[in-house]
Amino acid sequence: MKLDAKIPSGPLGEKWNKHKFDLKLVNPANKRKYTVIVVGTGLAGASAAASLGELGYNVKAFCFQDSARRAHSIAAQGGINAAKNYKNDGDSVFRLFYDTIKGGDYRAREANVYRLAEVSVNIIDQCVAQGVPFAREYGGLLDNRSFGGAQVSRTFYAKGQTGQQLLLGAYSALNRQIKAGSVKMYTRTEMLDLVTIDGAAKGIVTRNLVTGEVETHAGHAVLLCTGGYGNVFYLSTNAMGSNVTAAWRAHKKGAFFANPCYTQIHPTCIPVTGDHQSKLTLMSESLRNDGRVWVPKTRETAEKLRKGEIKVKDIKEEDRDYYLERKYPSFGNLVPRDVASRNAKQVCDDKRGVGKSGLAVYLDFSDAIKRLGQKAVEAKYGNLFDMYYQITDENPYEVPMRIYPAVHYTMGGLWVDYNLMTTVPGLYSLGEANFSDHGANRLGASALMQGLADGYFVIPYTIGDYLANIGPAPVDEKHPAFAKAKQDIIDLTNKLLSLKGTRTVDEYHRDLGHIMWEYCGMARTAEGLQKAKKMIAELREDFWKNVIVLGENEEVNQSLEKAGRVADFLELGELMVDDAFQRNESCGGHFREEYQTPEGEALRNDDEFTYVSAWEYTGTNQPEVLHKEELVFENVKLTQRSYK
């Protein structure tokens, strides 16, 4: 199968407007004849469902939480990028486009990224109109702050709660459409399979998480807005419920999975404290605006710190290594996340890490407090400082925060074309669930931008073209494909419930996470990846023999829910390892130790690997087939990425 990205012709800055004009339209009277299914109601899903409902389509929206307000989008802290140039510091749509392409280590499509930068300016206006309380300057104008990977201030923010405030805006728009009757909301309902007829998406299979009832829902198109798969690592900054099941089941029905090995490790997280933890806590990247990252210059000093023989305040300024400022003078502490994370690992590997485990570095605000005053720092980051204090019992106004990298975001996801359609006609993927805009590394404050761009400004146009072509004839819910898909899920549910081994689902998930972090985490090697593939295969085989799934189907059963999700993670883990193994280069979040510059930076191989890897499912226990979408760069020059 040849991948067709459907990128419009013409100059980069004219592609989207030209494409919108060329797309077919559905007239207002006909829109109500179509049903669109939206799975997931975070920023991408809520904005898409609200927008499509307002256009007049019949929308069915599904989320496994008890409210769309609980989507993981609320956890985003630092901000949302937009090329408004309010600071008059040289920003532009093209600069945001260039920074995003460069930040992704030249492994993203030019056309998609430019469109993202182009519509970013509209997102802010939309959200302000919804009442999102963005921070403002003294005179009342919207404020901006800087984020990693950029030398301009383009990040709009609402203290350290930006994701929550943006989601409340989308949620209010969604509720308006629910009240109007254009959107029907299904809460505590999880998608477990995709229904296809003649190769096209026509519906989904769901399980009611309260009653256990398995149901089918028909629609003319299906939108997957189900987030990323970072929880394959067990410990991550994601909500514990975040999973890959909807996307993975769609993958098994023909949707190619793209760039699965591209995982973002966030450098600013509260370090792991022990095996008792089930998730990790993010400290916003915005803290690196005023916080300075450092470790002791010598191993001896670090060892004394770890043993408690000295305190951090005892270390003189000349004995501190502000290693990001030293190595990257142009960007300093605001280098992109992959660069900051790798450098934190390097200094800890050099035995200069702090904390009892030695797996932490300092994020120090003493200079900012002296310069700005504690009240000013509190106004910017107060809720983040309080969250840190509540978790660690350490006051970051008095002692530096201790941080360490952790799994945060996944740049890979379902392959989509320019219209956000997967390789299954009628199946779309939005937000973090797709692969499209971030390449090998996402710049901070770009996730919220992409989710809302896809939902508010892209899908309302592109889905109309598909619907106009297929026509409004009702989907036949009596088609055998619906009954078969439903029975397949019932059979899988019964199979999981029949497993009465001796090990819990969480134990298998934790074991998988250890393997993924050790061999497919911040650094990878060919030898380690081969070892990981064998270990995951053995773990997956053992799972189906020795896991215990308690309870029944006709009730709330989190053991059953987790079992299905972990079974999917075990399969995805193997594919991530395969993808990392075939990509013999380092780029962004994919760092192969065999491929690095003499200075330890990622070393790309543009001659052989300037492509999107898109994997096709071929059957149970069968190797997946690799397809390649070649990336063409006409507007940026591929150079060795440097932030020095």
Q: Which residues are marked as active site?
A: 337
DSSP-assigned beta bridge partners for residue 630: 611
- Could you identify the residue written with the tokens 């090998």? 440
Task: Determine the Cα–Cα distance for residues 96 and 123; give it in Å rounded to an integer.
Answer: 14
Q: Is the dihedral of CA 173, 174, 178, 183 positive or negative?
A: positive
**592-601: long-range contacts (C-beta < 8 A, 24 or more apart)?**
592/523, 592/524, 592/525, 592/526, 593/523, 593/524, 593/525, 594/525, 594/526, 597/640, 600/342, 600/346, 601/339, 601/640, 601/641, 601/642
Largest Cα span, the chain: 76
Secondary element (H or E) of residue 62: strand 58-62
DSSP, collapsed to helix, strand or coil, labels residue 133 as coil
Per residue, what are the HEC states of 414-470?
A: ECCCCCCECCCCCEEECHHHECCCCCCCCCCCCHHHHHHHHHHHHHHHHHHHHHHHH
Place of tokens 């925060």: 401
DSSP state of 67: S
Cβ–Cβ under 8 Å, residues 544 and 503: no
For 503, the 3-state DSSP assignment is: strand
Q: Residue 626's CB: how many other CB atoms inside 10 A?
A: 14
Q: Which amino acid is at 440?
A: A
Cα–Cα distance, 540 to 574 (Å, whole number): 10
CA angle, residues 146, 454, 131, in degrees to nearest 5: 65
**Chain centroid, CA 44 distance in Å:** 11
Burial class (CB in 10 A: 0-12, 13-18, 19+), 382: middle
Residue in 631, 256, 616, 223 with CA at minimum distance from that of residue 419? 223
User: Burial level of 281, CB count in 10 A (0-12/13-18/19+)?
Assistant: middle
